[in-house]
């Protein structure tokens, strides 16, 4: 496992609360973040589909994460690398950026499916994230 290039530089610069909401188990999420050196930047804000009744593409996981983070869904911005995740974010009433810079996202068919899932924006370089957040006006307010 390797971190996505740029993520270690971007996360500490973000001025909005961040979390991980993944279809994986909590143990797998923690392991992946620990191996990549990102756990310290995101824990304790880790949410697994095992915490909710329905996983993605249902909105349950994202709604659960937003509630635990104290943020209303309309003020959330999701970064997703799968069409199912984009659909879940949309169903939750959240804005969503599709990220195509991950190791599995080099597949042209996946990029096409991500584009057709209608994210707010598609990007491939994690270093763009702070500017994209600013450009979308993603100011987070607590509920």
Token pair belonging to 73 = 């869904």
Whichever domain contains 100, its CATH number is 3.40.50.1000
Domain that holds residue 33: 7-136
Instruction: Tell me if 1 is assigned to some domain.
Output: no
Q: Can you tell me the distance from the alpha carbon of 27 to that of 141, in angstroms, rounded to the nearest whole number?
A: 30
Instruction: Tell me if 2 is assigned to some domain.
Output: no
Say if residue 142's pLDDT is above 60. Answer: no
> Which contacts of 24-31 are long-range, i.e. CB under 8 A and separated by 24 or more positions?
24/48, 24/49, 25/50, 26/50, 26/51
Average pLDDT over residues 84-112: 89
Instruction: Tell me if 141 is assigned to some domain.
Output: no
Instruction: Tell me if 143 is assigned to some domain.
Output: no
pLDDT at 73: 98
Tens-place pLDDT, residues 99-141: 998 876 567 888 889 889 999 999 999 999 999 998 886 444 3
Q: Can you tell me the distance from the alpha carbon of 126 to that of 134, in angstroms, rounded to the nearest whole number?
A: 14
Mean pLDDT of the chain: 91
Instruction: Tell me if 85 is assigned to some domain.
Output: yes
Instruction: Tell me if 86 is assigned to some domain.
Output: yes
């Amino acid at each position: 496992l390797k971190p996505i290039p740029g993520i270690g530089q971007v996360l500490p610069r973000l001025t909005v609360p961040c979390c991980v909401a993944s279809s994986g188990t909590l143990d797998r999420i923690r392991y992946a973040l620990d191996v990549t050196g990102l756990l310290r930047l995101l824990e304790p804000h880790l949410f697994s589909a095992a915490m909710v009744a329905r996983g993605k593409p249902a909105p349950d996981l994202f709604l659960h994460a937003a509630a635990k983070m104290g943020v209303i869904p309309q003020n959330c911005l999701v970064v997703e690398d799968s069409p199912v995740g984009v659909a879940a974010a949309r169903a939750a009433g959240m804005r969503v950026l599709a990220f195509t810079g991950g190791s599995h996202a080099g597949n042209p068919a996946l990029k096409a499916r991500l584009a057709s899932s209608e994210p707010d924006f598609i990007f491939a370089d994690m270093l763009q994230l702070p500017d994209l957040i600013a450009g979308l006006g993603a100011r987070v307010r607590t509920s």
